[in-house]
Homo-oligomer: A and B are copies of this chain.
């Protein structure tokens, strides 16, 4: 298995979204040109991304939407359920707990944790908030795979280490900090301030172009 660039993994998620929508609309076949247009990348990029995982589609006839959707779900590990917990039940944690249809995407929310005794015991999105001291036992009982980490920035590294010690192997980090991931733990970022900064870069770069100036200064 070659090393798969993280940008390819992100694009596979995008292709799967597009295929799911095509299938819902009853479209049976598609081509790399069409996927490329909808994903805002080149058709070469689509073919290159898919080629990491084998041969899909037929030259000239394109892809069968249902087959490629199923293959991408399998490649992305979405053909099995994942057990998830939210760590940090502030406003963002509460919003995620109430998010509709997380199950429909293959993620089963099994537990919610907070270090604040005032929050422990409260009901959020069908779950009862547990203290962080329950983490290890609950992680084992519920076979927790993934944590949505919504604690404040200054608490994120400590929580990450507690999650690793409890055997949780995947973390989606919402805090605006770069985590030092323990061995065997995979961290992805869902940090909206990083997203806002990327938007800032592109607006700024574009402004600079229009002004005839270079962002390189």
Contact = CB atoms under 8 A, between A and B. Distances in A.
Contacts of A195: 172, 188-190
A142 B146 CA distance: 40
A5 B8 CA distance: 13
A34 interface: no
Nearest to A53: B216
Interface string A157-172: 0000000000001111
A74 interface: yes
A16 B91 CA distance: 26
A27 interface: no
Contacts of A77: 200-201, 203-205, 207
A205 B9 CA distance: 11
Interface size range of chain A in the complex? 35 or more
A79 B216 CA distance: 14
A74 to B, nearest CB: 7
Given A10-B198, A39-B178, A197-B78, A192 B172 contact: yes
A181 interface: yes
A94 interface: yes
A201 B146 contact: no
B188 A190 contact: no
Given A1-B214, A38-B178, A199-B171, A13 B194 contact: yes
Q: Give the interface centre of A5, A201, A214 by most chain B CB atoms within 10 Å.
A: A201
A216 B51 CA distance: 10
Contacts of A191: 190
A148 interface: yes
Interface string A1-36: 100111101101110111001000000000000000
Given A94-B95, A172-B195, A216-B54, A203 B17 contact: no
A141 interface: no
12 contacts: A6-B7, A13-B194, A38-B180, A77-B203, A90-B95, A107-B200, A145-B203, A170-B200, A171-B199, A172-B199, A186-B199, A186-B202
